[in-house]
Amino acid sequence: MSSSLTPESVVPLQVIPEQGVLVQEFVIPAVTFLVGFIAVFLVGKVVLTPVVKRVLATRGHDPSVQSLADSLMSVVVWVLALTIALTLAGFGGFIAALGVFGGAVALAVGFAAQDLLGNFVAGIFILKDRPFEVGDWIEVGDITGRVQDIDLRVTRLKTFDNELITVPNGDLANNALKNPVAFDKLRQKFVFGIGYDDDIDHAKEVILDEAAKHPDILDDPGTSIRVSELADSYVGLQTRFWIANPNRADFVKTRSELVQAVKERCDAEAIDMPYPHTQLTGGIEVDGLKADQATTTSDD
């Protein structure tokens, strides 16, 4: 039994979609996504980010907060551009799937990078509480340096030996740190030692006079002196003085100049500034040794 196929009964096999379907389902969404992404990204970079920077600068936020805001705004602009472009292109289902996948990835990364996330959270609290700012010099543990940059994960310090130290924000947030320049004045202390035979009141007058002559030492609060110790070789006079707008270079220089001026003044006014020394007294009996030496010589 044979059958014949007519041209009308043959159904053509379409491997490649028709041109209209291809344009409708692929080209137009791709172009819409690309145009939407570029438009939102440019608006965010040209308009949104500069506005945020200007608002923070107007409100007096320090450069560290402005730098953090710049980093966060870059991430926000990318996320907004991607999300809006996908929505305009009709890929809402893809966004939902991406959100579920991103949540799972975030959960896995959270368990694997707890320290990293802890440093991130600590960085946010540092920028919120502002225990220090860019330009301050701080001391944490045995590390001393000037703050160069505050990032979300780490803080970078430049030591006074011109070394760069990167400190995780978790260490700064969870440990005690000292910020000597947090306020507009800083008090310094130094113990001058004078001899037991010297006049204490006279020595105090000399120290106060030299402190009053120094242009960087404040008159209010004034310099104060207290007898702090009776050491083996000297009487300790603890001198406390204040400097304004402190930084490390200023206070080291000021203290050095005051100590030198007091030392030279004390030398000129015959005020002794003794140093620890040991003196041996007594004698050694050597008569027996001489007798033995004499006996040995006579035997020879």
Taking only the tens place, the pLDDT of each residue in 108-165 is 555 545 666 777 778 777 777 788 888 888 888 888 888 888 877 888 999 888 899 9
- The torsion angle over the Cα atoms of residues 250, 256, 257 and 262, rounded to 10 degrees, is 140
Which pLDDT band holds residue 72 (cuts at 50, 70, 90)?
A: confident
Instruction: Choose among 227, 174, 153, 172: nearest CA to 196.
Output: 227
Q: Is residue 2 part of a domain?
A: no
Q: Is residue 8 part of a domain?
A: no
Which pLDDT band holds residue 194 (cuts at 50, 70, 90)?
A: very high
Range of the domain at 225: 185-268
Work out the average pLDDT over 253-272: 92
Q: Is residue 296 part of a domain?
A: no
Q: Do 156 and 79 fall within a single domain?
A: no
Q: Is the dihedral of CA 157, 161, 164, 167 positive or negative?
A: negative
Res. 169: pLDDT tops 80: yes
* Cα(105)–Cα(112) distance, integer angstroms: 11
Give the chain's domain count. Answer: 3
Considering 156, 178, 200, which residue would you say is the last residue of a domain? 178
Q: Is residue 281 part of a domain?
A: no
Q: Is residue 247 part of a domain?
A: yes
Beta strands 177-178 and 154-158, pairing class: unpaired
Q: What is the pLDDT of residues 223-251, one digit of tens each?
A: 999 999 998 889 999 999 999 877 766 77
pLDDT at 241: 94
Q: Is residue 155 part of a domain?
A: yes
